[in-house]
């Protein structure tokens, strides 16, 4: 049996904004093909860590290793080139464009003669259907549908589809079901499990303990700019996680982080 590999590792990463230390030596790792949750109260450092991985923030110090190699993620383009895609709560979709147009935004295929290039809309639609089929959403999302008229779950699926379609190895989801109802959340959960089945590593930020326990293979608990504990989901409970979040259960001292 093959041992799962750590595709992404963060070691002693620190980040400050002025005199405020947002990350105080965070060490966490993410296993290939697993679903990992990041949990913590507001100000715990989750968003800053995610933005360091997405290339929006550059760490002040520390090391990030991706696929066995130390990397410098200096901007979002570099993150995407590595295969790290982030889907934020606002989803970055354009309401007045169709699903196809959103999937190909800034990547539109062209045809024609030199000096006279036209969008290859037929190819775009064909590939859009294939993209949606890859994540199991082709039967409920029309490639011609306007984003404006889509449900929250459908919008989330389109945003995730765009990330997967362009070669993501790691997908980071920021509160993917925060604004969704029960049925739409269930659809997103099914989609996340499908990503895992395809070998894609999923990192998601959530405050929903029921969601965390249902989806995650591993959970990192963050508090006051540190990763203070790592737990396998099958070996912990909501009660223990609440204790770690609030400090009622102590695992690490300041300046250190838990390792798997």
Q: Write b or e for each residue in 144-163: b if 16 or more Cβ atoms lie within 10 A of its Cβ, otherwise e.
A: eeebeebebbbbbbbbbbbb
> Domain locations in the chain?
1-83+169-260, 93-167
Beta-carbon contacts of 245 under 8 Å, excluding residues fewer than 6 positions away, are 39, 40, 41, 221, 223
Beta-carbon contacts of 113 under 8 Å, excluding residues fewer than 6 positions away, are none
| CATH fold for domain 1-83+169-260 | Rossmann fold (3.40.50)
DSSP string, 149-182: G--HHHHHHHHHHHHHHTT-SEEEEESTTTT--H
Residues 241/231, Cβ–Cβ less than 8 Å: yes
Residues 155/177, Cβ–Cβ less than 8 Å: no
Q: What angle do CA 151, 153, 159 make, to 5 degrees?
A: 105
Residues 29/8, Cβ–Cβ less than 8 Å: yes
Q: pLDDT for 32-75, tens place per residue?
A: 999 999 999 888 999 999 999 999 999 999 999 999 999 999 99
* Coil, strand or helix at 187: helix
Q: Which of 72-86, 115-129, 217-231 has the lowest mean pLDDT?
A: 115-129
Q: pLDDT for 171-218, tens place per residue?
A: 999 988 888 888 888 889 999 999 999 999 999 999 888 999 999 999
Q: pLDDT for 83-97, tens place per residue?
A: 999 998 777 888 899
């Amino acid at each position: 049996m093959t041992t799962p590999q750590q595709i992404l590792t963060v070691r002693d990463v620190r980040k400050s904004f002025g005199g405020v230390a947002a990350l105080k030596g965070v060490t966490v790792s993410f296993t290939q093909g697993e679903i990992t949750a990041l949990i913590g109260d507001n100000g715990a450092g989750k968003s800053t860590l995610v933005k360091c991985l997405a290339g929006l923030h550059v760490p002040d110090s520390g090391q990030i290793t991706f696929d066995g190699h130390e990397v410098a993620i200096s901007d979002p383009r570099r993150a995407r080139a590595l295969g790290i895609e982030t889907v934020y709560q606002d989803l970055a979709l354009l309401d007045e464009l169709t699903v196809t147009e959103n999937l190909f935004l800034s990547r539109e295929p062209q045809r024609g003669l030199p000096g006279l290039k036209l969008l290859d809309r037929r190819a775009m639609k064909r590939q859009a259907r294939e993209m949606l089929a890859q994540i199991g959403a082709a039967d409920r999302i029309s490639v011609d549908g306007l984003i404006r008229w889509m449900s929250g779950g459908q919008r989330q699926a389109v945003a995730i589809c765009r990330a997967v379609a362009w070669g993501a190895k790691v997908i980071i989801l920021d509160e993917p079901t925060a604004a969704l109802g029960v049925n739409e959340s269930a659809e997103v959960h099914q989609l996340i499990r499908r990503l895992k089945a395809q070998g894609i590593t999923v990192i998601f930020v959530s405050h929903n303990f029921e969601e965390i326990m249902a989806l995650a293979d591993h959970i990192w608990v963050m508090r006051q700019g540190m990763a203070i504990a790592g737990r396998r989901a099958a070996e912990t409970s909501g009660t223990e996680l609440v204790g770690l979040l609030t400090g009622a259960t102590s695992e690490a001292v300041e300046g250190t982080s838990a390792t798997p």
